[in-house]
């Protein structure tokens, strides 16, 4: 029985996200705890956090995933945005703890031309700064990127180097985005491709560190470097690729989060239904 959900809006109040997730049949879901397109964030009111926790407990949905906003860049070579990014990540982990959310997903960012080695070093330093004082009940999940220019973490080897370099390795896991992996050149369309991709992940990172999946098809071709999500089964990965992934025993207890479009072809509930159909 696959555990599947979507990214849910917190418009109106953060507790309403739970009601929305229930309304479309989520077993799990993801949120932004604040405006994802700005640096400033109002402090999370205790009453709002309590209401979210209560609604979540009553729903039986678990686990919930909190996603970092878009602006932070943990690989930045520029000091001012880098420092703001570190502070934003630390704050997000505290917010997740207040909400009773066990996972925070973060993109690793772009090195802005400084080179992959420099970008990875900046990410390692940022994670060390944050995780040494992070709430103990929250695990940080680093997300693979799609291979776009100057990105950090597109290859499994890059993520492995970052995790190996961190001082708090037990506090950090991985969220595997299928669209990003495909864009970075990992073939997920066939049995052989899935086998090779997961073997590469296990050899470099270790499947035991995989804690969540972003279940997104790709509008871009294999190795295109494009981060453009498509409805599950309607993109370049296709239904067979997702069927194979959904039947992997290693993923049986992991949350699958769809970050897919909402348009005339399908909505969030439709993607949840498609995932369950392929898993069955």
Catalytically active residues are 37, 67, 70, 107, 143, 177, 180, 214, 227, 229, 259
The residues, ordered by sequence, that sit 6+ positions from 14 with a Cβ below 8 Å of its Cβ are 31, 33, 44, 48, 49, 51, 52, 99
Rounded CA separation 3/20 (Å): 17
- How many Å separate Cα 249 from the centre of its chain? 20
Angle (nearest 5°) at CA 146 between 258 and 67? 45
Please name which of 209, 75, 224 lies closest in space to residue 152, comparing C-alpha atoms. Answer: 75
- Whether residue 254 contacts residue 211, with contact meaning beta carbons closer than 8 Å, is answered with yes
Phi-psi region of 25 (alpha: psi -120 to 50; beta: other; left: phi over 0): left
Rounded CA separation 68/72 (Å): 8
Rounded CA separation 49/251 (Å): 30
Phi-psi region of 11 (alpha: psi -120 to 50; beta: other; left: phi over 0): beta
Please name which of 150, 141, 35, 162 lies closest in space to residue 93, comparing C-alpha atoms. Answer: 141
Rounded CA separation 63/108 (Å): 22
């Amino acid at each position: 029985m696959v555990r599947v959900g979507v990214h849910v809006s917190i418009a109106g109040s953060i507790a309403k996200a739970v009601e929305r997730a229930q309304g479309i049949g989520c077993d799990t879901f993801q949120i932004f705890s604040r405006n994802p397109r700005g640096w400033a964030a109002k402090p999370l009111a205790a009453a709002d956090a309590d209401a979210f926790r209560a609604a979540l407990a009553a729903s039986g949905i678990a686990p919930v995933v909190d996603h970092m906003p878009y602006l932070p860049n943990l690989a930045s070579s520029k000091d001012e945005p880098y420092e703001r990014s570190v502070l934003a990540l630390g704050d997000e982990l505290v917010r997740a703890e207040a909400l009773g959310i066990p996972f925070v997903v973060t993109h690793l960012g772009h090195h802005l031309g400084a080179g992959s080695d420099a970008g990875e070093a900046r990410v390692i330093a940022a994670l060390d700064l944050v995780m040494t004082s992070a709430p103990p009940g929250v695990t940080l999940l680093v997300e693979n990127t799609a291979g776009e220019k100057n990105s950090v973490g597109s290859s499994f080897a890059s993520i492995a180097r970052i995790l190996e370099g961190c001082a708090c390795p037990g506090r950090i896991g991985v969220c595997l985005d299928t669209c990003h992996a495909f864009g970075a050149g990992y073939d997920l369309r066939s049995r052989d491709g899935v086998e090779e991709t997961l073997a590469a992940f296990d050899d470099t990172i270790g499947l035991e560190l995989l804690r969540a999946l972003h279940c997104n098809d790709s509008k871009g071709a294999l190795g295109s470097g494009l981060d453009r999500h498509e409805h599950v089964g309607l993109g370049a990965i296709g239904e067979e690729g997702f069927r194979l992934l959904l039947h992997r025993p290693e993923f049986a207890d992991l949350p699958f989060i769809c970050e897919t479009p909402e348009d005339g072809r399908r909505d969030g509930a439709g993607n949840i239904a498609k995932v369950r159909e392929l898993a069955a």
